[in-house]
Amino acid sequence: MIKVFVNGYGTIGKRVADAVSLQRDMEVSGVLKMKPDYIAASASTKYPLFTLSENVQAFRDAGLVARPMDKGIAESDIIIDCSPGGKGEGESTGVVNKRVYQNLGKKAIFQGGEKADIGISFVAQCNFEKAILADYVRVVSCNTTGLSRTLGALRGFGIERVLATMIRRGPDPADIKTGPVNAIVPETKVPSHHGPDVQTVIDIPIQTFAIIVPTTLMHLHTIAVDFKNDVSRDGVIGAFRKATRVRLVNSKSGIKSTAEVMELARELKRGRSDMYEIVVWEDSVNVKGKTLFYIQAVHQESDVVPENIDAVRAMFNLMGREQSIAETNRALGIAF
């Protein structure tokens, strides 16, 4: 059993911890929380709780037992770092988590909020083999994961160029501090950073735009792909059906928006109503000559969770790509 320490128990960290606990070849050795709040209290009922040494007394005063972080890391085989973006290398915060892990001789997985050079950028279906026996891996952001999964499924057709627009949710559902509340905010640095981030995973020509809208549910992507040769709609849909963690839906069945996608996740009885798959509207798939158009939705709270699990297996060379993906899907209830 691989002992996994989860540094940070927020939106992604708590989901990653629960996903690890469902696997047959790994276990949660501990989770780190900075404050003794209600989330820490909930975590303590499931996992060993850790915090910074200077915070141990505050946890004790709140009736919670939390050991110092260093002890948890030392007792673990790998750290999945789900702390706020920028703490991995510490440029914006002064905290250098990666150095702590290096000094203790531990492998680590970082999230998409870190710069690409912190480790191997990873999406399981696209470049699992590149992470085999690696010491440091970065599971890319929710948007980059979404683009990589569907575009990765289309590489066999010969991609010439991609143009995509990210229509991004404002805050996560539990966030009361982030907007916008009543505005559409363009990201005026164009092309946006998402295209270059995709290129750290798969080598394709891609340009992206991004705007932020006042919703908490999901991101939406509109995508146009030019191919070197003619493609058929049936061929594209077939590729999506075979793809790992891509789910086709149809507006004719009543799934016309991100609200219905999240209702589908509830009907599937997923933990926290998560939608791990990238959702593609089948009726949006349209081919004009050598150009493909389609629309997809990305559940920003959960789509990267399976990638973290597969990254652990790759880094310890526990099994091959297809076997790992199938095992993770089985544990998380991702069925086709």
Six-digit token string for 33:
């929380």
Burial bucket for residue 101 (CB in 10 Å: 0-12, 13-18, 19+): buried
- Report the alpha-carbon distance of residue 288 to residue 231 in Å, rounded: 9
Catalytic option among 79, 142, 231, 287: 142
Predicted confidence (pLDDT) per residue in 233-270, tens digit: 999 999 999 998 999 999 999 999 999 999 999 999 98
Which segments in the chain show pLDDT lower than 50? 91-94
Predicted pLDDT at 88: 57
Predicted pLDDT at 95: 52
CATH 3.40.50.720 residue spans of the chain: 2-140+304-332
Predicted pLDDT at 191: 97
142 in active site: yes
Region of 227 please: left (phi>0), alpha (psi -120 to 50) or beta.
beta
CATH fold of 2-140+304-332: Rossmann fold (3.40.50)
Question: If one looks up domain 142-298 in CATH, what number appears?
Answer: 3.30.360.10
What's the pTM value of the predicted model, to 2 decimals?
Answer: 0.95
Predicted pLDDT at 76: 98
CATH 3.30.360.10 residue spans of the chain: 142-298
Predicted pLDDT at 324: 98
ω before 180 within 30° of 0 (cis)?
yes
